[in-house]
Structures are given as structure tokens and as C-alpha cells.
């Protein structure tokens, strides 16, 4: 069953047509990878699925309801999002950043998620000193402490080493076993994606 659908969506940013008559179904309780070359609109697509961007035409539905009709808090209860770039600009610690704005049940999972992602050792370190991969894992941790039916990850493997990549794949599989729906944006260069249930090639 499809939990999310995009029906012939188009989106123009400035003078560039980023998405053109694009349709997509995201299967429930499965891992869907969206792959494609740089600049083909993958990140735009994840922003659309997250509800950050509204397409100029076409419809995006979550559980058969227009995404636009969801309030911010309804959307937050449905999906967690990890964007590709983190704009940390103040010297908060890793743990402080993960805990920001989280509710009680999410706060209770912080320690466990940090050790799963291999960032427990740097919990007290300033986020300004992190490598790209570490920063990305901090953002992933912010999503994973939350308990939502859908998780959207924009390029979670970018700048991750082999070990972290393996750990992330295990985490994604674990989420699927819990009945979660996972969407990841990936590069074909990210290695084999056989562990995903669906691979959608996004061609510009």
C-alpha cells in the first residue's frame, strides 16, 4: 500500500524547472531509495515530500490526504526529516543539539540513539568542530529519537565512512522491522542498494 503519492508534480525554482510532471509512490513499511545524478531534483523532491516545498502543480498526498492540509504539528507527528546540509552556527554540544525541542519520550531515547550512531563519545563536543559525516549523524540522531511512521533522509551516506554506512543500513533495516516507512536519497556511487525494497531512478 502506498503511504505517500506524488501525482504529476511540477516545480520551478527561479528559471529552472526542477520537477516536471513527476509521479511517485512510496510504499508503506518499506525502504525506498531515490537515486539519480547531481542536480536532478532529488533534494527538491525530499523537500516536497517533507512538506517544506509545495509543487506548482500536481498533488502530494499522505494517507490519501493532501499534504497541504496537514498542520505543522500533524506533519511532525507523521514524519521525521534529515536534510543534507546542517547549518550549525553556534557552539552547542552534540547532545544539546539532539535534545533541542524534543518531547519527553524522544529525550529518553537520546543516549541509545547516540551510541547506535557512534556519536556517544562526542556527546559533549561542540558541533562546530564536527566533520561533515559526524554533523550529518547528529542530524540523523535528531530524527531517530522521534517516533514517527515515516522517515525521510536526504543523502544520509554522503561523507560517511564505511563503518558508519554499515551502521546506518542496520538502523534503517531495524526501522523497517518496526514497521516504519523509510525514504532515502542516494547516489548510485553509494554502493549497492540491494537492501532497499524499491529503487526509483530520478532522471531529470
Partner 1 sequence: MKKIYVLASAIPLLLLIALAIGATEVNHVWSAIFAFEFNSESLDDQIIWQIRAPRVIAAILIGAILGIAGSLSQAATNNPLADPALLGTTAGAAAGVVIGVATNLVSLGSFTAVIAAAIGAMAATLFTFWLARSALQLIIMGISVSAILTALVGIAISLTDRSDLRSITFWSLGSLALIASSDLLILIAVAVIVLLVALKLSPQLDLLSLGDNAVRHIGRDPQRIRLIAFLTLSVAVAASVSTVGTIAFLALAAPHIARFIVGPRHRNLLIASAVIGSIILLLADTAARSIAPPQDLPIGILIALCAAPLLILALKKGAMQWR
Nearest to partner 1 of 8, 126 (CB atom): 126
CA distances from 69 to 25, 49, 55, 105, 140 (A): 19, 13, 14, 27, 27
Q: Give least dist CB 54 to partner 1, A.
A: 13
Query: Using an 8 Å Cβ cutoff, are 169 and 196 in contact?
Result: no
Closest to 174 measured CA to CA, from 151, 157, 158 = 151
12 bridge partner residues: 17
- List the interface residues with partner 1, window 90-149 (CB under 8 A): 90-92, 96-97, 100-102, 126, 128-129, 139, 142, 146
Per CB under 8 A, which of residues 17..76 are in contact with partner 1?
50-52, 72-76
> Radius of gyration of the chain from Cα atoms?
17
Measured from the CB atom, is 75 or 199 closer to partner 1? 75
**Which residues within the stretch 166-185 sit at the binding site for partner 1 (CB under 8 A)?**
none
**Among 15-23, 32-40, 79-87, 179-187, which window interacts with partner 1 (CB under 8 A)?**
79-87
CB of 142 to partner 1, least distance (A): 7
* Residues in contact with partner 1, shown as a per-residue x/- string from 80 to 99 under the rule CB under 8 A: xx-x--xxxxxxx---xx--
Phi-psi region of 129 (alpha: psi -120 to 50; beta: other; left: phi over 0): alpha
For residue 46, the Cα-to-chain-centroid distance in whole angstroms is: 7
Binding residues vs partner 1 (CB under 8 A): 50-52, 72-77, 80-81, 83, 86-92, 96-97, 100-102, 126, 128-129, 139, 142, 146
Amino acid at each position: 500500500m502506498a503511504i505517500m503519492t506524488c501525482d504529476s508534480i511540477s516545480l520551478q525554482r527561479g528559471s529552472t524547472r526542477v520537477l516536471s510532471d513527476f509521479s511517485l509512490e512510496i510504499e508503506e513499511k518499506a525502504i525506498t531509495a531515490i537515486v539519480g545524478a547531481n542536480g536532478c531534483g532529488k533534494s527538491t523532491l525530499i523537500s516536497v515530500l517533507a512538506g517544506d516545498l509545495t509543487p506548482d502543480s500536481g498533488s502530494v498526498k499522505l494517507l490519501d490526504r493532501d499534504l497541504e492540509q496537514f498542520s505543522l504539528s500533524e506533519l511532525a507527528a507523521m514524519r521525521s526529516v534529515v536534510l543534507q546540509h546542517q547549518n550549525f552556527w553556534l557552539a552547542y554540544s552534540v547532545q544539546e543539539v539532539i535534545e533541542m525541542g524534543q518531547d519527553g519520550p524522544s529525550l529518553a531515547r537520546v543516549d541509545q540513539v547516540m551510541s547506535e550512531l557512534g556519536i556517544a563519545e562526542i556527546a559533549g563536543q561542540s558541533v562546530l568542530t564536527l566533520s561533515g559525516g559526524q554533523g550529518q549523524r547528529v542530524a540523523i540522531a535528531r530524527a531517530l529519537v522521534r517516533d514517527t511512521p515515516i522517515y525521510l533522509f536526504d543523502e544520509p551516506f554522503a561523507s560517511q565512512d564505511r563503518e558508519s554506512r554499515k551502521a546506518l543500513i542496520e538502523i534503517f533495516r531495524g526501522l523497517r522491522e518496526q514497521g516504519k516507512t523509510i525514504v532515502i536519497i542516494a547516489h548510485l556511487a553509494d554502493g549497492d542498494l540491494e537492501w532497499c525494497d524499491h529503487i526509483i531512478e530520478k532522471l531529470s
